Each structure stands twice: as structure tokens, then as C-alpha cells.
Amino acid sequence: MAFLKNRTSFYFVIGMIILAIIGVASRLISNPSAFFQSVLVFLVIGFAIFFLVRRFNGATPQKREQSAFRKAAKKSKKRFHQKDARKPSVKTMNGSVSTLKKGKNKAKSAAHLTVIEGKKGKKKKRASF
């Protein structure tokens, strides 16, 4: 039954689109100046609403933090994908694997980790027994 509901709504949407195209074409043929005037008014009102919504729905502190987090996550992801791409392929040639591992024994830095400052100096109130 769900298939029939989806098919019915699909036909309904297609029918509405076809009727809209016929209406726009007939309006363009019968009175082109009124058509272009109504399109211009529609665009002006649309841009006015867009800029008003954008102006009053500005960046709140939560949105700024969220966007900063997304930016940092994207940057981190990009950096780690680049590191993976630079790794050489290890070929085994009569014990040369052990020599390759000796050269790569460097300490890895945790540059992707950040320190979050907290209330470390504040002592907790503890009950003394």
C-alpha cells in the first residue's frame, strides 16, 4: 500500500508542475509585461525576506562555537588524510622490514589534541568524618 501512496503523490506533484508550466507559459504569451513585472516583484520580495531573516537570525554564540568546531574538525580530518597518503608502502626484501622500523621510531606529537582549561585550582568541599 505504501507503494501506491508514493506513486499517487508522485503523480500529483508532476501534475502540479505541468499545470504551473502551462500557467506561466500562457501568462507570458498573453501579457509579457505583467509577467515580467510579477517576476520582478517576486524576486524583490524574496531577497527582502532572505536578508531580513539573515539579519535577525545572526550568528549566536552557540552557532559560532559550532561553526568553529566544524572548521577545526574539517581541518583535522584533512591533515590526517594527508598523513595517510604520504605513508610509503612497505616492501619486504630479505629482512629490510626491521631496518625500516628502526628509522621510524620517532615520538609522535599529539598536535590534534587541545587543552581545555577547567577549575583545577578550586578545592572540592568534602565532609570530614
How far is it, in rounded angstroms, from Cα 52 to Cα 46?
10
Using alpha carbons, select from 49, 24, 23, 51 the residue that is nearest to residue 39.
24
**Residues of the chain with pLDDT > 70: what percent?**
59
Q: What is the DSSP letter of 57?
A: T
Using alpha carbons, select from 98, 78, 100, 80 the residue that is nearest to residue 89.
100
Average pLDDT over residues 88-99: 53
How far is it, in rounded angstroms, from Cα 26 to Cα 71?
49
| Cβ proximity of 38 and 31 under 8 Å | no
Torsion of CA 17, 23, 28, 33, to 10 degrees: -110
Comparing 114 with 103, the larger pLDDT belongs to 114
Q: Say what the pTM is.
A: 0.37
Q: How many CB atoms lie within 10 A of CB 31?
A: 12
Average pLDDT over residues 94-118: 61
Amino acid at 101: K
Kind plus residue range of the DSSP H or E element containing 116: none
Torsion of CA 65, 67, 71, 76, to 10 degrees: 50
